A and B are shown apart, each in its own frame.
Chain A
Amino acid sequence: MARYAMVTDLKKCVACQACTVACNAEWDVPAGYARTRVRSTPVTGTFPDLASSVYVAQCNQCDRPSCVEACPSGATAQSGNGIVGVDKSLCIGCGFCLDACPYDARYINPLTKKVDKCDFCLARLERGAEPACVTTCTAHAKYFGDLEDRQSDIFRMVYAMGARRMETNAIRIGPNVYYAGERARADLVLAAFPPRPPRLLAAGEAWSRVLKPLVMAAVGATFVGQAVAFFNQLRNGEKDFED
């Protein structure tokens, strides 16, 4: 089984947005929404020592994805190759997963009212093509491959050249999009766009903490009451039947 990962070289990226366009075209992403987007960090420092970095954000296909647990119906699930997919036929559009994602990588498609996000172009991978953003990247800043393949560029960049995950000490769920380039650039990105703690919507909180225990208690209490009644019935016999 493969373990897919992507590397974006922040030093090579020129923020041309070709990946965004290719992705939107490939997946019919409605205007105003995106599976991947290129952002820039605010400029820091004083002239002439100014610093800024681009940041190509997308779903990280995390090792321990917080969105999977938040999805009530099982539409969001992680497959063996590490890709976190959304089964559209199971998505009910509740939006719990949007708040659960520390990277805000998901959006609700306003046409289908279902959730959508990057899945490393799984449909393209299945026919042997690379993800659309990797194919189209004008600066060859994006790499895609299998971390279990020791001969791959990906393996070399992650394990030999120190490409980084966008993780903080607080949020560490194993993102599988890595960022190459100088350490300072990744630090700028992490300072400007840090992952946030996963949230559970108020509706989800009410469900898991109030309604689920309440319903289980009500059903349990009814069951116990009936068991008492049933044993009384067995003890007393059914003499009342012919009443």
Chain B
Amino acid sequence: MRTDAVPVHPLPLTSEQAEAMLQRHVKRHHIAIILLHWFNAIVWGFELLTGLALISSPLFRVAPHWYIGIVEGLFGSRANMLQFHVALGLSWIGVYLVYGVSGFRTYLSREVLQNEIALDRDDVRWLIVRTQRILGWTNEPLPPQGIYNAGQKLFAFLVYAMIPVVMVTGVVMAFRLFSTPVVGWAVVLHFGAAGIVVSGLMIHVYMGAVFPEEKPAFFSMITGTVNELYAYNHHFKWWTIVKAEERVWDQQHDDEAGHPRETAGPTDTARPE
């Protein structure tokens, strides 16, 4: 890989370059991940809908009575609601088990941990600048990011920490495992872990569905691709990796075809003036 050939920061683009990059697409998500994402979103939607309505005691309740009444009406009875909540939750765990068993070598490699999950110096800086930009305090450009930005990584950490808690406590409650005090604590931890996920989920949904700069990321969860311009501007470090892989692929195919292929985007050879 000619890593020395790519710039460290995104360079200003000419409008022709920008237009050309807008037309090119880069693969971002595997179809399996897209399906898992929307399955997960639907499950969380229903589990939160029913979970909120399942807590009826004034000591612990967070949803208003009218909301509980509406959801009870939708399901016919509280017992149906609970059965639905448990059955859907167990199916969710089952699907994750299948994905976990079949995909852990892909998603837990050292490379993935370093490039996609661990926070680096740019990420820490990004978190500060991003917050200031949202609040309108600064126009400083954001530090370059890998395939996931620091905010997405933080949300991932939250989810990695809380999802196992939600799953284990859910199973403990569903089958009333171990002793009564354990089940009692499971109820409490289930609520707490889900509640913490929800506060992160709100940002996740806002960023995906409402925040204008991240709209290509939202559509990438449907099409699996983003335009190259978005990758260049928002996930620059990932873009350099994608480009390097493309060049390697191109070079191999140059040899077979016997003539060079055109490389796209601003590199050391195609740097704008």
Binding site for B on A (CB under 8 A): 68-74, 87, 89-90, 92-96, 98, 108, 113-114, 200-201, 203-204, 206-208, 211-212, 214-216, 218-219, 221-223, 225-226, 228-230, 232-233, 236, 238, 240-241, 243
Across the interface, do B181 and A203 meet the contact criterion of CB distance under 8 Å?
Answer: yes
Across the interface, do A229 and B206 meet the contact criterion of CB distance under 8 Å?
Answer: yes
Within 8 A of A (CB), among B193-218: 195-196, 198-200, 202-203, 206, 210-213, 215
Across the interface, do B59 and A211 meet the contact criterion of CB distance under 8 Å?
Answer: no
| 9 A-B interface contacts by CB (under 8 A) | A72-B57, A73-B54, A73-B55, A73-B82, A74-B57, A90-B78, A203-B181, A218-B196, A226-B202
* Complex: A214 Cα to B206 Cα, angstroms: 21
Partner of B212 from A214, A219, A226, A240 at Cβ < 8 Å: A240
Secondary structure at the A interface, as helix, strand, loop or mixed, is: helix
**Residue B263 at the A interface, CB < 8 A?**
no
* Complex: A236 Cα to B212 Cα, angstroms: 11
Across the interface, do A218 and B199 meet the contact criterion of CB distance under 8 Å?
Answer: yes
Q: Which of B55, B187, B200, B203 counts the most chain A CB atoms within 10 A? A: B187
- A236-B136, A243-B229 known; A226+B199 contact, CB < 8 A: no
Across the interface, do B202 and A207 meet the contact criterion of CB distance under 8 Å?
Answer: no
Partner of B192 from A113, A214, A226, A240 at Cβ < 8 Å: A214
* Complex: A129 Cα to B215 Cα, angstroms: 67
Residue of A nearest to B234 (CB): A243
B27-59 vs A: 1/0 string, CB under 8 Å? 000000000000000000000000000111111
Across the interface, do A230 and B188 meet the contact criterion of CB distance under 8 Å?
Answer: no
Partner of B56 from A73, A93, A219, A241 at Cβ < 8 Å: A73
* Complex: A78 Cα to B82 Cα, angstroms: 20
Partner of B62 from A93, A204, A216, A229 at Cβ < 8 Å: A216
Across the interface, do B184 and A203 meet the contact criterion of CB distance under 8 Å?
Answer: yes
Residue of A nearest to B198 (CB): A219
Binding site for A on B (CB under 8 A): 54-60, 62, 78-79, 82-83, 134-136, 173, 176, 180-181, 183-188, 191-192, 195-196, 198-200, 202-203, 206, 210-213, 215, 229-230, 233
* Complex: A204 Cα to B61 Cα, angstroms: 12
Tell me how far the C-beta of B224 lies from the nearest C-beta in chain A, rounded to whole angstroms: 20
Residues of B within 8 A of A90 (CB): 78-79, 82
Residues of A within 8 A of B82 (CB): 73, 89-90, 92
Residues of A within 8 A of B134 (CB): 228-229, 232
Residue of B nearest to A243 (CB): B233
